[in-house]
Structure 1
């Protein structure tokens, strides 16, 4: 039974089955991950996007809250070839529209060839093609959205592992996955998670050993205050970043970023270390990339398209990664990144006299 419609930016209207009712709109993207749907759906980096799963069956091992990366579902809608009842019920309870029984292979090919596109969705008993088109029409201007950080960041500072004996990390929350803090705490670091718009004084108050800029959604240029923090503390303390954090740091130091055609989203992205020639598999979720690294050295690249996956500066004590070393979901090939980050505290540059 057709109970849902997707109106695509390329002019098509695709029929589907409604699994969780509602109307919404967003940027249509896809992930190639075949497991980890709970982690993907609760990843803040998917804010304002419509997430299409390329793997045909989503939900075959249920829904367990302990796997969640945040306290809610972030994509505006979920699209799959087939969703199980567990996932459909979860999304309905979250108020997130979900549809299936459509050709997701065709959607993925369209995004790969034409790029991430805006779409409108109408799902439920009263859904019509016209309603989906109305949602699509309201997508105009979404790419210029500049306050997306407010939707995904904490509003007040949080502290993890107060009694830890390791370095104190100021984690700038631009939409941080929970497993980033978990990975640092597992190494006995004290994590002071601060909002995306934290002031210089806010960071100074926690007296950190390392400034760490998290992942997050959308254009890194929208996170102006995070860039201010990088500019303020570069050379005074080590800097680290993951995903959007790499992009923010590069921009703040004179580099540049650009939007990719369809981004990297999945758990099997191959990354080559230019120093060792070793290739590892990584988890990724981003639609922007660093186009000019500024003063930073490109130390790792994506094997598929040569985009920068790792930036470093020994002189400035900076280390960043475009992928997600904490995985969740995905391979654990690169968990050692967190050891490298915390190791910077032992070799931190000294402030100039």
Structure 2
């Protein structure tokens, strides 16, 4: 059996079975999803993290590329109770260390009690506990990954749905899931995907109906370029955001964000709409949240479990953001109408901008 060691912050080392060799370090987090492992593993929001699956068997319906949310696996390593050979071989081909035969219930309990923590992984024929501890020693906090956006954004602008005749969306790619783009294109939008540090001139050249800030990994305070874009366009252009995007919008408009203890990660997070009283189940993957929205924004939806903001609207600006993932993949589709609402906001803004006939 290939040796595998998992070193947790504080020095505790767990031994498991190695399924894909290598060394890694990152923030240890967990997801409660019992399906959608392909989507989770290719979600850019997991960059610089080590993903623990709480569901015991991962891989029971194979690996299909059409379910991927990006072009690669993003977690630095993967932990599970049991991984099928299909998933183990996929992770090995991606160079992502994987460990199973772990008591993931204990790992998840540790994270819930202590919070997301630094972690070091060593998997291979000749690795030792000291190798895992060395990775742990070199591990950074998520806030210290100041250039994390560059690891997940597009290299060059791309256009999707260019034959559509609906709204034009400038999507700032901070680590966007592919299904966000697909959801907008399916609603007849043309989506221009721009790097996370795109400048004002690049966005103005598109003349978008909506500035859309995507999901992504890390501390929202490190996305200064995207924050600047929101500040520059919010007075004249509708702004939308998902997950990290909500946090970036809040940072740009005078709000504050903070690190959560262990975040929201899974497909069964209940969200309450404060106006309608409706509760929906949502897919989530984030470790930061909006602490205070500021004077330009109002909280419209909250998490039922901890009252953290899940939906934010503008007060005097056209702003619509969600902390959860309305596009799901994986997860329930209770909130897909968010994309309709965003495009309707843009259309209403356009209508108001049309001068009345003399």
Q: In which range does the TM-score fall when normalised by the shorter chain?
A: over 0.9
For structure 2, the residue ranges without an aligned partner over 5 or more in a row are 354-358
User: Secondary structure at the residue paired with 1:267?
Assistant: strand
Per-residue deviation at 1:155? Answer: 1.1
TM-score after normalising by structure 1:
0.98
Q: Distance in 2 between matches of 1:229 and 1:191?
A: 17
1:35 and 1:328 mapped to 2: Cα distance? 10
1:12 aligned residue: 12
* Alignment pair present for 1:301 and 2:302: yes
Conserved 8 A contact 1:2-1:15: no
Residue number in structure 2 paired with 1:241: 241
1:152 counterpart residue number: 152
Separation in structure 1 between the aligned mates of residue 190 and residue 342 of structure 2, nearest angstrom: 13
Q: Which runs of 5+ in 1 are unaligned?
A: none
SS of aligned partner of 1:258 = strand
Taking the aligned partners of 1:273 and 1:11, their CA distance within structure 2 comes to 42
Note the alpha carbon deviations across 1:38-67, whole angstroms, 9 max, x for none.
000000000000000000000000000000
Asked if the contact 2:262/2:287 (under 8 Å) is kept, the reply is yes
Superposed, 1:267-286 pairs within 5 Å as: 267-286=267-286
Q: Secondary structure at the match of 2:24?
A: strand
Pairwise CA distance, 1:144: 1.1
Q: Note the aligned Cα RMSD (angstroms).
A: 1.1
Equivalent residues in 2 for 1:163-202 (5 A)? 163-202=163-202
2-structure distance, mates of 1:181, 1:213:
12
Alpha-carbon distance in 2 for matches of 1:323, 1:140: 26
Are 2:2 and 2:125, in contact at CA under 8 Å, matched by a contact in 1?
no
Distance 2:250 2:70 in 1: 26
Matches of 2:316 and 2:335, distance apart in 1: 23
- Which aligned pairs between 1:125-136 and structure 2 lie closer than 5 A? 125-136=125-136
CA contact (8 A) 2:2 2:124 kept: no
Q: 2: distance between equivalents of 1:282 and 1:269?
A: 5
**Hey, what's the Cα distance between the residues in 2 that align with 1:10 and 1:64?**
38
Runs of 4+ in 1 over 6 A off after TM superposition: none
* Counterpart residue number, 1:31: 31
Q: Using the TM superposition, give the Cα deviation of residue 145 of structure 1 relative to its aligned residue in structure 2, in angstroms.
A: 1.5
Structure 1 residues 192-231: aligned runs within 5 Å = 192-231=192-231
- Counterpart position of 2:42: 42
| Cα distance in structure 1, aligned partners of 2:142 and 2:218 | 10
How many aligned positions are there?
Answer: 351
Question: TM-score, normalized by length of structure 2?
Answer: 0.97
Rounded to whole Å, the distance in 2 between the matches of 1:108 and 1:76 is 18
Residue 21 of structure 1 aligns with which residue?
Answer: 21
The CA deviation at 1:140 is 4.0
